[in-house]
Structure 1
C-alpha cells in the first residue's frame, strides 16, 4: 500500500515548513504546499490527494472555509482544519463544511498523525455507508408501489403513475382532494371501507391497516393491496404531511411461497450488511477478533433460554455482531496497547457506543440495531455510558448483550491482561445482578453454563 497523499494549505511559510517536515517524518507524501484558497482548489482537482490540511485563515477570514466547502462537497476529499483561532463564529462556520478533524496550532507530530489517520478511517467508512445507502435507495425506488402524498389536512399533493392506475384517476384530477374521498381501501374481513384517521396520525399516533385489504378503483375494479401510511417529517421532526403506499400484492397472493422467499432474501441482504460491518472492526484489532461473534453466540443463547420469540433472538444476534462497530473511531494502537491504558485513552474507548449509534442510525434496518448498540454499556443503576440510562430505560436486547459482553470479555485474552476463568466471569455477573445487570438475564446465563454451554472459538 502506497503512502497517503496530503495537500497542505498554509499561508505562513515557517509554519508550513514545520508541518511539511512533520508529515514527511510520519510517512506521508505531501503532494503540494500552497498558500491561497484558489491554489488549494486547483491542486485538489488536479492531484486528488487523500486528505487536505487546510488553514482556516488564508488571504481573507473565510477563504479557508470556502475552499474547504468546495473541495469536500464538489471534489469529495476530506478536510482537516488547522487554526490558531477558536472564536465561536469561526468554529460554527467551519462545522458547516463537515470537516474530518480540527487541529489547534501549535500541535505535536503525534496529534497530527492521529487526526489524519482518524479522518481517513472516518472518510472511508462514510463512503462505504453512502454507497450502501444509495444501493438501498435504488432498491426502494425500484419497488413497484403506488404512492400518494398529502398535506396535514389529508388533501392529496402527489401521486405516482402506479397510484393513478390503481385508483383510476389522473394526477390533475386527484390533486387537492381529500384522500379519504379518493382512495377506497376495504377490509377483506368486514368488507367495510377503512377511514384513514388523518388527525390522529398527524398528532403522532400510530395507525396500521388490517392484514388483508383490497383497493376499490373508480371503475369498481378491486386489487389486493398492502397499504401503509406514515407521517412526513421536516428537519425539525414536525409532521408536514402523510405518505400512503399501495403495494399491489395480487401476484403475492397467487404465489405466497415466492413472496416469503423474497422477504427472506431481503433479510439476508440486511444480515450481510451487518456481517460486513462486524468484519470491519474485527480486522482492526486482532485481540478482539471473534469477540463480537462470540458475544452474539452467547447473547442469542441467553435470549433463547429466556423464551424470547425467534424474531427477537435474531435481532439480538445481529446487534451483538456489530455492538463494537464504534471502535472504528478509536486508533488501533490504543485497542491493542499492552499494559494499562490512560484515562484519556479509556475515555476515547468509551465513545464507541455513541459512535456506533451514529454509524448505524441512518441505515434503514427493519430492527432497532442502532439503539441496541447505543445502549450495550448502560447499567441498571445508571452508572453505565454514554447516556446513563437506568432500569426500564434500557432495551431488553441491550441488557442481554451487556451480560454476554462482560462474560466473554473477562474470559478472553486482552493486551493489558490475561484471560480469566469463565467461573470468575459468572461470579462477577452474579454479584452484580440487580445492580448492574438484569437478574433474569443473569439467571438465564448462569443456567446455560450449568448445563454445559461453551463459548464458540
Structure 2
C-alpha cells in the first residue's frame, strides 16, 4: 500500500484527470474511431521500441483513454484502479514514458525517468516538463512536444543530447484524454538509441567499405532484386558488358546472357534456385556486350538477404574468360601436337631395336597392347597407364647394344651369350634415364625382368620393391613371348603361356597382375594378345 501512495497522489489525479462533458472547443473533432486508431498506433510504436510490446498489447494500458468517453455524466473521473494499472505497467518499461498536457505539465511518469533524474514523484508530477527534463524555462527550439501540439499529430524525432553525449528517440502521440481545464493530454516516450545509432553508423561504414571493394574489384560484380532490376553495377561490369552504371541502375538487367537452348534453360533454372537459397560457382555461359559482340563468361551467384533474413535478390560475380578459353584451346592443340610428335619419337626408338632383331618385330607394340588391357582391368589411373604403355613400347630398346648375331641366332644361346642378352634392361635404362618423361619410364624398363621372389635381373629386386608398372610389363612380356614364334622354336600357344603365369603366381609374377590377365583370357571379347 505504501508503494501505491508513493506512486499515485489521489488529489493530484482528481485535479488533472477528469473527463468533463463540456470542454473548450478544439479545432479538431475526434470520433471514437479516431481515438481507437490513435491507440493502435501507440501500441505499434511501443512494440517497435521494446521487447515488452506483448505486455502493452495484452494489458489494459489503453483503457483509461477510452474510459468514460461516451459517458454523459459531467466530471466522469477515470478510475484510480486504472491509473494504478497504467503506472505499474509503464514502470516496467526500460525507457522514459510519461504523460504531459499541451501546457507541458507532467501528469504521469515512470520510474525510469525518476531514476535518471534522481527525483521523487512529487518533484516531477505536475511540474513544467522543459524545466524538469532540460532545465529550461520554455521548450527548446524544435521540441517535438511543441510540434505535436501545433500540428495536432503524432511526432517521431531523433535528438542528440550533447550534455550527455547520447542519441534519443522521442515519440509523441495525442490522446483523446483532456485535463479538467480542457487541455489535451499527450503520451510521450523517449529511449536511448545511442547503441543503435553507433551500430547503424558502423554498418554504413562497413557498407561503404564493401561498396568500395566491389567497385575496386577486377571482376564484374552486379546485384539484382527479385524482379531482376539492377541494384549494384561496378566499374568492371561496365568494362565487361559496355553498359554504364547510369544506364542500368534501377532498370531490368540488360540482355547480357546470350545462352540458348539447354544452356539457357539451365541458366533460368539456376536463377530460380538461387532465389530459393542455393549458390552456384563457375557457371559458364555466353555473354553479350552492348555492341552485340559475344564473350565467354564464368559466373558465380548467391542469394542476397535483407535485415529480416529474407531473400531479397541475387549477387553475381562474373569473369570474362574469352581469352582464357582461346589460350586453353591453343594449349590443347599444342599438347595434341606434342603428343603426336612424342608418339612418333617413341615409335622411332622402338623401331631401332626391332630393325636389329627382325624376328621379334612388333613384339614391343604387342606387349604394350597387353599391358594396356591388364592395367585397365586393374583400374589404374589413365596417366599411370599412359606411362606404362610408353615403357612397354620401349622396354627392349637396350638390345641395340647387343650384337646382331646373338639376337638373330637360330639355336640355343650359350651362357655367355645369354648374359649379354641379360644386359639389355640396364642398357635401356642408360639410354632413357636422361629423357625427362612425366613417368618413371627408365626405371620400368630397368625392372621389367625382375621377379617377385628376387630371382630376376639385373638387381634381384623382390615384391613391392619392383614398380607396379614393371610387374605388369613382366607378365605381358612373358605371355607375348610364349605365344609368338621364334627362329629357334615355334609358338607355345596361349594355353601354355597362361599356365606359366598361373603356376608361378605370387612366386615370379604379381598375383593381382596374373589374376587380371586370366580374367582377360576368360573374356572372349578381350583378346589383347591377338593382333
Structure of higher CA gyration radius: 2
TM-score w.r.t. length of structure 1: 0.44
TM-score w.r.t. length of structure 2: 0.38
